[in-house]
Structure 1
Amino acid sequence: MTTYRIALNFEDGVTRFVDCSAQEKVLDCAFRHRINLPMDCSDGVCGTCKCRAESGTYDLGDEYIEEALTQDEAEKGLVLTCQMVPRSDCVISVPVPSTACKTGTGSFPATLADISRLGEAAYELALDVPSESTGFLPGQYVNIDVPGSGQHRSYSFSSSPGNSRMTFLIKQVNGGLMSSWLSSATEKEALTLTGPMGSFYLRSVTRPLLFLAGGTGLAPFLSMLSVLQEQPANHKIHLIYGVTRDQDLVLVERLAEFAQSMPHFTFTTCVADSQTRHERQGFVTQYMRPEYLHDGAVDVYLCGPPPMVEAVQKHFKTIALEPSNFYYEKFTPNATTAPLEKAA
C-alpha cells in the first residue's frame, strides 16, 4: 500500500509526523495517530479544519462548499484536512498549538557516535538514533539533555532528515554546560532528545533563495542544502555566512562541496573583526548585493544572533525592499549558569 509522510507543524513549533495512505484523508489519518486536529463537521461544510499546505501535492476533491474554502484560499495553499488526500509527502501548518490537539513533543534515545572539534570555535556532534526517530523538517531543532545535569540545550540539525545519524554544529563556550560535557564525553554514551521543533524550516522552493547564516547559525542551512542537493535546481541559491572572528569560520569546505555539486548554489563568507585576515571584512548586510535580492522576488532565510536579525530587518527598510518571504530564527549562545531559550 502506498503511504506518504505528512508533517504536521503546529503553531507552537511542535512537529508530528504521520504516515497517510494514498486513499486516506489527512484528518482521518491524524485521528488514527491520536492527534485531534481541529474539526466540527468533517464534511467540508464548516471550515474548522482549515490549515495551510506548505509543500506537497494533494487532492481536495469537490465535496466541500465555497463558504468552507474559497477558490482564492485554495490557490493560496489553504486546505480542509477533512477533504485533503495526499498525492506526495506533505508539510501542513496547523494554526493551533499542539496541546490543543492533545499531542506534543516526543522524546527518543540517542547514543554518542562522534565528536569533531572544529578548531577553537565549535564542535560537530554526531548522534545515532533509532530509525523511527529520524523525521524532522530541514531547519528545525531538538532539545538535547546534557547527561548528569538535569538540563538541556537546543540545537539545529545540520544533517538531512531520514538518516539514523544526526549531526549538530555546537559553539564552543568556555565553561558552558554542553561544551564542558563534550570535552569529556565518551563514545556510545546515552542521551535523550526531545523534538523536533521550530517553525524555521525550508518551504517549497518557488523562487530564488537567499540564506543568511551567523556563526553556528550555519547548521540549519547545511541541513537545507543537503535536501536541496537531491532536488532538481530551478532557482538560484546564495548563502552569506558571517562570523565575528577568523577562527569562527568553520565547515567552509563543506559549502565548497555543495557549490561544486549544485550549479545553482553560490556562497559568500565574511568576518566582522576589523583585524581579520579574511578577504572580506564586514557584516552580512554589506554583502547582500542586488543580484541576490532579485528586486524582492526572493525567499530569505536567516539564522543568527538577535543583533544580526535586527540589522537585516533594518537593512531591508533602508533599501525599501520587502522580500516575498522572510523566515528567521534568533539564537543566543548559552551562558554558563542559566539555560536560554534557543541556541543554534
Structure 2
Amino acid sequence: MSFRIALNFEDGATRIIDCNDGEKVLDAAYRHKINLPMDCSDGVCGTCKCHCEQGSYDLGDDYIEDALTEDEAAEGMVLTCQMVPSSDCVVQVPVPSSACKLAPAGFDAAIASVELVSDSTILLKLDLDDPEKLAFLPGQYVNLAVPGTGESRAYSFSSRPGAEQASFLIRNVPGGLMSGWLTRQAKGGDRMRFVGPNGSFFLRDVTRPLVMLAGGTGLAPLLSMLEVLADRGTDQPIRLIYGVTHDGDLVEIERIEALSRRLPTMSWAACVADEASAHPLKGYVTHHLTDEHLNAGDCDVYLCGPPPMVEAVRQFFKQKGVEPAHFHYEKFAASEPVPA
C-alpha cells in the first residue's frame, strides 16, 4: 500500500510523490530526489517542519518539544522526518521549490483537438506522451509554452487528474500570443509542452457546503474540481454560479449538466452581465448568491475570475456581514497583446 503526498512549495510548485506504508515523508521525498529541508532527521532541530493541510498521519513520538510543540501539532504542523501518512495528504512546504533542488517538471503532448467553442473561448485538448507521470491537484495550473516563441502562458486544467487527455479553456484574446497561435496555426498532432503543476488554488477536503464562483474561463479549474467530486461522491451541497459578459461566452454547459446529474447535491446557474442578453439570468454572480447558499458563513468558497470579480465578491461578503469558513480564490488576467 502507498499514499499520494502532494508537496506544495512556497512558490506554488507542486510535486506529488508516493509514500509507502510505514514510510516517513522525508524519506519518501528523498527517494523521489526531492531534498526537503532537514538538518538532523531525528526530530530534534525542527528544520523539516511543515503544515499538513489535509489527510491523516502518525506524528511519530521520537521528537522533542523544542522541535514541535503541542500547540503546533494541534494546528497541523508536522516534522516530515517523523510523519508517517495513513492516507493521501497535502503538505505545505514553507520554502521555494528551488531551495529543495527541485527542477521544473516538464510534460510533452500532441494536440488532440483545438476548437473555438465561442468567440471568446478556445477549448484545447492534449494527448499526453506519458499521462501516468502527470499528477496535479484539481484546480491547479501549468505554464503552457507557445510553440516557436520562447514564451509561455498560465492555464488551469479543466480536466481531472489521471485523465488520458489534458484539457484547458483558453480565453481568445485579440492579438494574444497563445490564442493567436491556436486560432491561426495550430492543428491536430502539433507538439506542445508545459511545465508544472503550480498553485495553491485546489480542492480541499469537503466537510461543509461548497460555493463555486466562476468568471469566464475561470470555469476551468472548477470543472476539474467537480469531476473529482463526481468520482468520489459527496453529501455536501454544491452551488456553482458561472458568470460571463455576453450570451455567446457561455461554454461547457452540457458538461456542467452532466456533472450535476452525477452529483445529486449540486445545483448551478449561469448568468450574463450584458443588459441586452436574452439569457434568463442577467447580472453578476453576486446577484444570484443567496443566504441559503452562504449558510451563515458555514461554507467553503472557491472563486476563479478576473481581479474585479474577486474584489466584488469580497465586498459582497463584507456588506452581507458573512465570512466564509474558507475563501479560496485565484485571479487571472489576459496577457498583453502582441505588438503589430
Would the TM-score normalized by the shorter structure come out above 0.5?
A: yes
- CA shift at 1:52, angstroms? 1.6
Question: What is the aligned partner in structure 1 of residue 236 from structure 2?
Answer: 235
Rounded Cα–Cα distance in structure 2 between residues aligned with 1:10 and 1:28: 17
Question: What is the aligned partner in structure 2 of residue 342 from structure 1?
Answer: none
- CA shift at 1:162, angstroms? 1.2
Secondary structure, counterpart of 2:255 in structure 1: helix
Equivalent position amino acid for 2:153 in 1:
R
Identical aligned residues as a percent: 56
Question: What is the aligned partner in structure 1 of residue 29 from structure 2?
Answer: 30
Equivalent position amino acid for 2:131 in 1:
S
Q: 1:138 and 2:149 equivalent?
A: no
Residues 293, 104 of structure 1: alpha-carbon distance in 2 compared, 3 angstrom cutoff:
farther
Structure 1: unaligned runs, 5 residues or longer: 339-344
Question: What is the aligned partner in structure 2 of residue 159 from structure 1?
Answer: 159
Bigger mean CA deviation after superposition, 254-263 or 214-223: 254-263
Rounded Cα–Cα distance in structure 1 between residues aligned with 2:233 and 2:311: 33
Residues 67, 208 of structure 1: alpha-carbon distance in 2 compared, 3 angstrom cutoff:
farther
Q: 1:147 and 2:141 equivalent?
A: no
Output aligned runs, 1:88-237, within 5 Å.
88-129=87-128, 130-183=130-183, 184-237=185-238
Output aligned runs, 1:9-24, within 5 Å.
9-24=8-23
- CA shift at 1:75, angstroms? 3.2
Rounded Cα–Cα distance in structure 1 between residues aligned with 2:260 and 2:191: 36
Rounded Cα–Cα distance in structure 1 between residues aligned with 2:73 and 2:324: 23
Rounded Cα–Cα distance in structure 2 between residues aligned with 1:76 and 1:265: 31
- CA shift at 1:219, angstroms? 0.1
Rounded Cα–Cα distance in structure 2 between residues aligned with 1:195 and 1:312: 29
Rounded Cα–Cα distance in structure 1 between residues aligned with 2:279 and 2:158: 25
Equivalent position amino acid for 1:19 in 2:
D
- CA shift at 1:155, angstroms? 0.6
- With normalisation by structure 2, the TM-score equals 0.95
Contact 1:3/1:21 (<8 A) preserved: yes
Equivalent position amino acid for 1:257 in 2:
A
Contact 1:54/1:204 (<8 A) preserved: no
Question: What is the aligned partner in structure 2 of residue 335 from structure 1?
Answer: 336
Structure 2: unaligned runs, 5 residues or longer: none
**What is the total number of aligned residue pairs between the two structures?**
337
Contact 1:4/1:20 (<8 A) preserved: yes
Rounded Cα–Cα distance in structure 1 between residues aligned with 2:230 and 2:71: 33
Rounded Cα–Cα distance in structure 2 between residues aligned with 1:112 and 1:52: 38
Deviations along 1:203-228, one digit per CA (max 9) or x if unpaired, are 11121111110000000000000001
Secondary structure, counterpart of 1:230 in structure 2: helix
Contact 1:236/1:265 (<8 A) preserved: yes
Deviations along 1:23-64, one digit per CA (max 9) or x if unpaired, are 210011112222221222222233222212222222223222
Question: What is the aligned partner in structure 1 of residue 268 from structure 2?
Answer: 267
Question: What is the aligned partner in structure 2 of residue 74 from structure 1?
Answer: 73
Rounded Cα–Cα distance in structure 2 between residues aligned with 1:115 and 1:327: 30
Rounded Cα–Cα distance in structure 2 between residues aligned with 1:71 and 1:230: 36
Contact 1:14/1:104 (<8 A) preserved: no
CA RMSD of superposed structures (Å): 1.5
